[in-house]
Chains A and B, each alone.
Chain A
Amino acid sequence: MTGLLPIFILLTSLVPTAITFFLPQESYRLRNALNLGGAIAKVALIVTMLFSVAGGASYETDMALAPGLVLLLRIDALALLFVSLSASLWLLTTIYAIAYLGKKPEQSRFFGFFSLCVFATTGIALSGSLISFFIFFELLTLSTWPLVAHKQDAASLEAGRTYLLYALPCSTVLLVAIVWLESATGPILFTEPPDLSGIDPAGLRVIFALFIIGVGMKAAIVPLHGWLPSAMVAPAPVSALLHAVAVVKAGAFGVIRVVYDVFGVDRVAELGVGIPLAVMASVTIIWGSLRALQQTEIKKRLAYSTVSQVSYIILGAALASPFAVIGGLAHLVHQGLMKIVLFFCAGIYDERAGIRSIEGLNGLGRWMPWTSICFSLGALGMIGLPPIAGFVSKIYLGIGGLQAEAPWVLAVLGVSTLLNAAYFLPLVYRLWYCEAAPDVEVDENAPALVGPTVAAALAAVAAGLLAASEISPLGWATLIAERDYLQ
């Protein structure tokens, strides 16, 4: 029974996918019920597991493909961190998406691929072997394309093309890395550190670089980030999916797996590849912020902000000192919560007020108070204002930098915080302190859009306020770090 749990969790997204594709456009009720039901069932399953995994349990199920290809699904603490983030945000996004899409066309295709994306993300989280990770990683690549190109106009198709243009070469690089490594070690399972002695250090460094290119593209590491801002043409729920629930998270999660479970912290240090990775992450953090400053469209600015923020996770993973590990892992959740709030809000501004550019935000706080409060909370959290979640991540990363004897990390965090303030504060200022344009008349009477936004914002605040408790993202990250990586 317990061995089947990973499969049940996957089925909560796969069953809605399989049925939704065949539903006619008019079956709104059945489709919504299926997708919401799947999302709720998944959250429920995960909540029940949280307790047993906290007590030290893990669930496992495997299936042999051809020799060398082992499909292993495993629920451990790290898997659960990612899967509970993506599952709870999936639930919120589903509610939001149902309201956002209203009666727009092609909903069966949209929700079908949407659930497929979540299925793939769950698979990535639960993968216990390198090859199952790759299989789900690629499934995610493919199922995201129809969502990015969903509107089927020239701009969307172009964005979809850009996405594949980045994704497919990088996944080829990832495959080469996996094949190269596994040709020497046999199938790699995340539970047992592989014996890498068959490959010389120079070769291992190259393989590590190939791995980082392969998974780093999804995490939008500079210079592999170009697809993310251009994917902004997609509908708002898709942006939420790309930025918070699934895609960039899968990339960051991949980096964590590669550093900790494929190579191992010691080997990474021995090869001397951790610091270069940290430097890359730092460059991405600064570059993303600088580019965000130059954007005049809300969603574009948010997109570059993601480029910058996701690399905090990678920075933490690369530094590999105790506090950095914990901060990076916690930021996986924190960034997701805050970013989904911001994108939900951007979607509401667009949908309910037709506002996409930053100037349009002037004075909206009065007209759309709920949305604007959430947006402000998300933005302040991103800057790192206590007690919102982002603050906790930054503190931990900073201390982690000192522990790893890389004090320059403090400078990176400092500059980044200043830049964050520089590109987020003007938005908040405009919302509350600028005069609204005279013709603005909007209302935010859309509970199904605002509700999930408020819930996510509350979660982001709670993650910061309750950081000391065991069940907070930080508490869970500490548990993972103590259990698996810091013996």
Chain B
Amino acid sequence: MSALVAVLVAPLIGALAAVALPGRSGRIATWVAIVATLAAAIMLAASVISQGMPRLAVGSWEPPVGIVLEADGLSIAMIVMTALVLTAAGLTARHMLAGDTKGPRIAFGFWPLMLLLWAALNAVFLSRDLFNLYVGIELLSLSAIGLVAIEGKPAALTAAIRYMFFALAGSLLYLAGVVLIYAAHGALDIGLLATRLPAGTDPFALALMTVGLMAKTALFPFHVWLPPAHGGAPAPASAMLSALVPKASFVILLRLWFDVMPDQATDAVLVLMAALGTAAVLWGSLVALVQTRLKLIVAYSTVAQIGYLFLVFPLAGGTSVDQPWAAGAWNGAVFLALSHGLAKAAMFLAVGQWVHVRGSDRLDEMKGLAKAMPMSAFAFALSSITIVGLPPSGGFTAKYLVMTSAFAAGQWAWALVMACGGLMAAAYLYRPMAVIFGRADLSASRLPSRSQQAVPLALAGVAIVLGIASAEPFETLAIGRPQAAEEGL
């Protein structure tokens, strides 16, 4: 119970302290908050696994009056992944910002925004109230936009403004949906809404919220804001934005379609969502293939990877919902979100170190880096394995689960999308791999130390371990999902 509160409160207090306290004490407060939140996340996960789901009615007001926080398997999986990614990003940012001439000014904004982002993410993963989710995702978007713009470069500012346009439009649509639901049912609690009597406005409300969340998740065709924003932000920020932010709105989508209104899920709509996902996979991968800037390759890869997530809807929802393959598809999608989060963060952090050394993220500047920085090169290679979905990695486990579900459901097309997507990912990630592996003499003076290079390597390692030791995470995801607990195929 206390850990449930701590994962929300610790980063918020840290954010305030980082702004309020001057200089050194502010930095110490920041790191105390980071360590505290990481510890709270792990404790929360441990208590959910050992004692079941903690539930907190804020201020002891039960719904429909009050709001509820609750941690299920999905929540803690996302919260732990978030904690790992943000801690790693923080460790990398500490060195990168220190060496920068504009360091102090950027650092002044960076640490509070990062902690706010953390609080917002945890709030989204724990909330069981549609309006509370709105607050969380709004805070998330605002801190994310701040992080994009933090260096004050013109290109980044443009990207941030474009991001803001999409994020705000998405928020408005979502809010409109919330209003319609409240008008029809007088409740916003997910548990209460699950047992509601369907109202005539439900399809419209769900559509509004879904489109709004798709814009925030950067699903094709709403992805146009993502590559410039993630490609233009400083690398530690890109790591958080690409790995975590789209996952938050995706989790809300999962809760909407599987918990709040599973009755509204008609096959045609679900197939449409997966079709958009397919388009994202194909388009994102194709565009990533022709980029000449490394950060953009990695950013477009995120566009493609987000597409995979939406294949879950026809495979686990609608008429599939109580079929034996639904559990595999649902778990596979969450696994994909987790392993992509870890691997993509590792990738951005490794790339960030190279960009820091070379002063540019143009692909042809990257020659010879494998020799100069072998550990971060290895981190990039390991995360590529996860992103492509090769064994043994979390990405592979996810892919296997989703593909078997697709075949079992007779919906082969989705399996082929995954197969093609993996191949295209191999193609666009091979280019940077071959370049950094090429021979060049880099007499660069300040290379990151081994311990700094170990940070992305550790993250990428966790993504691999997720594939090897996948039985426990799999069981954990079933907590709070009775239908997923049945072993499917």
* A-to-B contact residues, CB < 8 Å: 21, 64-69, 106, 109, 131, 134-135, 138-139, 141-142, 146, 149, 152-153, 157, 160-161, 164, 168-169, 171-172, 175-176, 179-180, 182-184, 186
Contact = CB atoms under 8 A, between A and B. Distances in A.
B401 A65 contact: no
Contacts of A152: 437-439
A65 B397 contact: yes
Interface string B371-400: 100100010000001001011100011011
B419 A66 contact: no
Contacts of A109: 374
B415 A179 contact: yes
15 contacts: A67-B474, A142-B390, A149-B434, A149-B437, A157-B434, A157-B438, A168-B388, A168-B423, A168-B426, A172-B422, A172-B423, A182-B404, A183-B404, A183-B405, A186-B489
Contacts of B405: 183
Contacts of A172: 419-420, 422-423
B430 interface: yes
Contacts of A134: 391
A146 B328 CA distance: 34
B391 A68 contact: no
Contacts of A175: 399-400, 403, 419
B484 to A, nearest CB: 11
Contacts of B438: 152, 157
A152 B423 CA distance: 24
A204 to B, nearest CB: 14
A152 B468 CA distance: 31
A138 B391 contact: yes
B291 interface: no
Helix, strand, loop or mixed for chain A's interface? Answer: helix
Contact of A65 (B371, B378, B407, B468): B468
A66 B488 CA distance: 11
Given A66-B401, A67-B328, A135-B391, A183 B489 contact: yes
Interface string B170-199: 000000000000000000000000000000
B414 to A, nearest CB: 11
A169 B374 CA distance: 28
Interface-central residue, B325, B374, B420, B489, by most chain A CB under 10 Å: B489
B413 to A, nearest CB: 12
Given A135-B392, A179-B415, 9 more contacts: A65-B469, A69-B470, A139-B392, A157-B438, A168-B426, A179-B403, A179-B407, A183-B325, A183-B408
B100 interface: no
Interface string B446-465: 00000000000000000000
B437 A157 contact: yes
Contacts of B335: 66
A67 B487 contact: yes
A65 B371 CA distance: 35
Interface in B307-341: 325, 328, 331, 335
Interface of B: 325, 328, 331, 335, 371, 374, 378, 385, 388, 390-392, 396-397, 399-401, 403-408, 415-416, 419-420, 422-423, 426, 430, 434, 437-439, 467-471, 474, 487-489
A67 B437 CA distance: 37
Contacts of A64: 471
A160 B434 contact: yes
B420 to A, nearest CB: 8
Nearest to A131: B400
A68 B400 contact: yes
Residue from A106, A131, A135, A141 with most neighbouring chain B CB atoms (10 Å): A135
Contacts of B396: 135
Nearest to A105: B371
Contact of B400 (A69, A106, A169): A69
A146 B420 CA distance: 24
A264 B405 CA distance: 25
Contacts of B391: 134-135, 138-139
A76 to B, nearest CB: 23
Contacts of B488: 67-68
A-B pairs, 9 with minimum CB distance: A183-B407, A135-B391, A183-B408, A179-B403, A66-B470, A152-B439, A183-B404, A66-B474, A65-B470
A179 B489 CA distance: 12
A180 B411 CA distance: 11
A141 B385 CA distance: 12
B401 A169 contact: no
A71 to B, nearest CB: 8
A112 B426 CA distance: 23
Nearest to A135: B391
Contacts of B419: 172, 175-176
Nearest to B397: A66
Nearest to B473: A66
Contact of A184 (B408, B416, B426, B474): B408
A176 B430 contact: no
A262 to B, nearest CB: 16
A164 B392 contact: no
Nearest to B423: A172
A179 B325 CA distance: 13
Contact of A68 (B378, B390, B401): B401
Contact of A66 (B371, B408, B430, B471): B471
A141 B388 CA distance: 14
Nearest to A151: B439
B336 to A, nearest CB: 12
A106 to B, nearest CB: 8
B392 A66 contact: no
Contacts of B474: 66-67
Nearest to B403: A179
A182 B407 CA distance: 9
Contacts of B328: 67-68
A69 B403 CA distance: 13
Which of A141, A146, A164, A183 has the most chain B CB atoms inside 10 A of its CB?
A183
B397 A180 contact: no
A138 B395 CA distance: 14
